Amino acid sequence: MSVRGVWVISQAGVSDGGRLLFSRRFPTVEKRSRMVDGSDYVPVPNNQEFVSNLCTELGLKGKAGKFLSKRDSCLKIDQKPIFEVITSHGNLWPVLVVEQFGVLFCCIPLVEQGCSGRPPAIQIPGLSAGFTLLLGMADCLGPVSKLDEKSPKFEELSLFLSQAASFGRVRDVRVSSVTAKLLSRGTTLSKQTVQPAWKPVLHKGKNQVYFNIREQIRAVQYDNASIADQWNLYGTVTCRAELEGVLPEITLNVTHMSDAPALPLDYLLTHPCVQSAEAQGLDPDDLNRGGRAMPRRLRFTPPVDTCTVCRYAVSSLMELPIKGLYQMRMEDRVSNLEVKLQLNERVKNAFDYCELQLPFFNRGVIQTYDCSASQGTVLLSPDKRIVVWNIGSRFPPKTLEVTLTCTLRFSDPGQRSAAMFEDPFCVGQNAYAQLYFKIPDFSHSGCYVDPKSVQVSPSTKFKLTTEREYLSAEYKIWNSHGDSLMVFPPPTFPLDAS
C-alpha cells in the first residue's frame, strides 16, 4: 500500500485554479508503477502541469459552468474522491483528492495489480491507505487559514511524511504516534519482547484507566393517534488507558444497574483491538418475566489514544425519557402556542442542561413575544426567529411536568434577509420544537462499567475512572395542529398471495 506522490494545493485567492504549496514524490514507488503497468504506464507530469490539469478536472479553472465533454459527460463514471487527470502523456488514474480547511490534499496511490482494465476501487488497497494518509496530513497541518510555501507547517509535514510514509509506503498516519516516534529516544526492551509499530513509545508514570459510556437518543413525537412516535437509543463505550508495559490487556464487564429496567444491548460493534466480546442477551420472553440482561464481557489491548471500544443499540426501549406536547395555532401574524413536557419517573431528574427551542420559518422575525413558563427563562435568539426556553437543571419533583405558553407577533415575511434559511415545509401551522438535554451519571439502558470487573494483565495497580452521560441527539416534537414529516412503513403481503 504505497503512493507515488502527494501534493497540497491552496484554493485561496487564485482565480485561475490552485496554487501549489507542497509536493513530495517517491521515485521507488514510481519505478514499481512503471514495472507493473508496462505499456500502460502513465508518468506523473511536472507539478505545474499536474496542478493545472487537476484544477481543470475539479472545475476550479476556467469559466464557471463551462461544459467540457471529457469531464462533464454523463458517460463518465463519477467515483469521488477518485478522479482521472488528463495529461500530455495519457490519463492519470486513480488520483485521490480530499478538501480540508480550504486546501486540497492529493495523492496518487499505487495500483499493485496494474491499471489495465481499471480494476474496481474496492480491489485497490492503496486507495484506503492513501485516503487515511491525506487525512493524517490534514491533521498535521491543522486548520490554518493562511498558508504559503514558506510556512513552518510544511517543515513539520515533511517530517511527518518521513515517518508516516517512508519511501512512499503508508505505515502509521496518526499525528500523535508519529510525533512520539520523532521525539522519542527509543525504548530498551528485552529480545523476547516485540514492540508494536502502533505503540512507538511506552507509557511512564501513573497507571490510569478511564471509561465513558455515552448514550444518545433520537426521537420524533407527533401527538397523533394514527402516527406512532419513533425513537432510537444507541451508545458508545470509550476508553483511555495509560498503562506501563508493551501490551497490557484489559478485561471488563458492561452490565446493568440492579434498579434499572432489563434492556439488553443489541447490535454490538467492537473496535479491532477487542479480542473477545461475549454478546449474550435475554430472550424476549425472559424480559417479559422480569429477567435481567446478561453482562457483556470485553477483553482488549488498548491503543495509545482514546478509542471507542464498542458501539451498541437498544431496541427494547418502551418509553421516552421526556414526553412532549406542542400545540400551536397561527392566525395572520399572531401565533398562540402551548408546550408541555413530562419527565419519565425512571429517568434521573438532574440535568447539566435542558433547553427547548421553537424555530419559526417563513414568517418573518418575531417582533413581540409574551411568554409564561412554569419554571426557567424564555429568550429570543439573536436573529429573532427562535424562542429559547431554558428549563433548568431539574423538573418539579412532585409533578415532573413543566409548561410554557406564548403569544408571538411576527413581522412581514417579505422583510426577511436573503441569508436566512427557510425550511420549505414549515409553513402555516407546520412547526416543531427541538429539545436538547444532557444528564450526567446516567444511562437510559441502565448499563455501566462494573468497576469490580476491570482487570489489567499483567497485574498492576491503577486508578480507575468511570463516567456515564445521556444526551439528546435529535429530539423533535411536532405541532399537533399542523402536518409533520413522516414516512409510512411499506405494506406487507403474504407470500402466497395471488
pLDDT above 60 for 296: yes
Cα dihedral 35, 40, 46, 47, rounded to 10, equals -100
Beta-strand pair 230-242/208-221: antiparallel
Contacts of 186 (CB under 8 A, 6+ apart): none
pLDDT above 90 for 435: yes
pLDDT above 60 for 292: no
pLDDT of the residue at 356: 96
Split at pLDDT 50, 70, 90, the class of 306 is confident
Split at pLDDT 50, 70, 90, the class of 364 is confident
CATH of range 208-319+444-478; options 2.60.40.1170, 2.40.160.50, 3.40.50.300, 3.40.50.720: 2.60.40.1170
Helix H, strand E, coil C: the string for the chain is CEEEEEEEEECCCCCCCCEEEEEEECHHHHHHHHHHHHHHCCCCCCHHHHHHHHHHHHCCCCCCCCCCHHHHCCCCCCECCEEEEEECCEEEEEEEEEEECCEEEEEEECCCCCCCCCCCHHHCHHHHHHHHHHHHHHHHHCCCCCCCCCCCHHHHHHHHHHHHCHHHECCCCCHHHHHHHHHCCCCCCCCCCCCCCCCCCCCCCCCEEEEEEEEEEEEEECCECCECCEEEEEEEEEEEEECCCCCCEEEEEEEECCCCCCCCCEEEEECCCEEEEECCCCCHHHHHCCCCCCCEEEEECCCCCCEEEEEEEECCCCCCCEEEEEEEEEECCEEEEEEEEEECCCCCCCCCEEEEEEECCCCCCEEEEEEEECCCEEEECCCCCEEEEECCCCCCCCCCEEEEEEEEEECCHHHCCCCCCCCCCCCCCCCEEEEEEEEECCCCCCEEECHHHCEEECCCCCEEEEEEEEEEEEEEEEECCCCCCCCCCCCCCCCCCC
Domain ranges of the chain: 3-179, 208-319+444-478, 322-440
- Mean pLDDT check: name the lowest of 199-203, 232-236, 311-315: 199-203
pLDDT above 80 for 408: yes
CATH 3.30.450.60 for domain 3-179, yes or no, is yes
Contacts of 300 (CB under 8 A, 6+ apart): 239, 249, 250, 270, 271, 273, 274, 275, 309
Stretch 320-345: mean pLDDT: 93
pLDDT of the residue at 62: 60
Angle at 70 between CA 69 and CA 76, to 5 degrees: 100
pLDDT above 50 for 21: yes
Fold topology of 322-440: Immunoglobulin-like (2.60.40)
pLDDT of the residue at 205: 83
pLDDT: which is higher, 59 or 394 = 394
pLDDT of the residue at 470: 96
pTM for this prediction: 0.72
Q: What is the mean pLDDT of the chain?
A: 84
Comparing 3-179 with 208-319+444-478, is the CATH topology the same?
no
Q: How many CA within 13 A on the CB side of residue 3?
A: 26
